[in-house]
Amino acid sequence: MTRLSRFETALEGLSRKDRLRGLAPREGLDFASNDYLGLAASPRLAEAVREAIGRGAVGAAGSRLLRGNHPEHEALEAEAAAFFGAEKALYFGAGFSANVALIQTLPQRGDLVVHDELIHASVHDGLKGCRAETVAFAHNDAGAAEDAIRAFRERGGTGAPWIAAESLYSMDGDRAPVAELMALAERNDGFLLLDEAHATGVLGARGRGLGRDLRGTRGARLDPHLR
């Protein structure tokens, strides 16, 4: 029995059930990626990347908080904020890390995170280190989200509710009732965290997503694929 044998046993178990995952070559028709607009092979984007590299933006060389902040980052974020009509934008290396970071830093102890039961795995991962109380609501059911907030208040919860949802769910292809969720956040002095990963570039005026036109006063927006 070696230290590694429990992992080997687990891998063999997965293999026996035909559930062992591996990396496959990219081939055949694409019905599984999220490259809806074909941007991954865009010559214009490739050219923009080459130009940026020419301006010296090869690597951050450190955390942005220390020496890693580059004018290219700031220019990109300013452009994104202007496009989305937001006060500010902040890019992350991946949507996954954006969701984990937001869920683990914004909601505070005493708050409530009310999330759609089908929200992306990255939010679920973030919830594991979240200081707030967390509860799922039935998929796309704003009434169920409201019930969860009411129950939180009834058991003495005084913090802010954070409603987390995706605007467009890629697996099911359906949209969240974003206006209702925003109104719910407003009525309860809370926030809407809207993951527009699959709506950006696809839904809303000029592909700005569904959150763009919500006129909330305190709505937080989350666009993991803006990077």
Ligand X SMILES: Cc1ncc(COP(=O)(O)O)c(C=O)c1O
Give the footprint of ligand X on this chain (CB under 6 A): 34, 94-96, 99, 120, 122, 166, 170, 195, 197-198, 224-225
Strand, helix or coil at 166? strand
Least Cβ distance, residue 201 to ligand X (angstroms): 13
Helix axes 178-187, 142-154, angle to 10 degrees: 20
- In the complex, residue closest to ligand X by CB: 95
Nearer to ligand X by Cβ, of 7 and 36: the residue is 36
Residue placing its CB nearer to ligand X in the complex, 152 or 191: 191
Nearest residue (CB) to ligand X, 34 versus 108: 34
Report the largest interatomic distance among the alpha carbons of the chain, rounded to a whole angstrom. 61
- The residues pairing with 195 across neighbouring beta strands, listed in sequence order, are 166, 222
Half-sphere exposure of 105 (CA within 13 A, CB side): 7
The residue whose two tokens read 């802010």 is 160
Q: Smallest distance from the beta carbon of 123 to ligand X, in angstroms? A: 7
**Nearer of residues 125 and 147 to ligand X, judged by Cβ:** 125
CB 223 to ligand X: min, Å:
10
CB of 169 to ligand X, least distance (A): 8
Tell me the C-alpha distance between 80 and 101, whole Å. Answer: 19
C-beta of 100 vs 145, nearer to ligand X: 100
Look up residue 65 and give its DSSP letter. Answer: I
Beta carbon nearer to ligand X, 95 or 190: 95
The CA distance from 141 to 153, in Å, is: 19
* Closest separation in Å from C-beta 120 to ligand X: 4
Min. distance of Cβ 180 from ligand X in angstroms? Answer: 19
Separation of alpha carbons 149 and 110, rounded Å = 13
Please list the alpha-helical segments (H only) found in the chain. Answer: 5-16, 43-54, 71-84, 95-105, 121-128, 142-154, 178-187
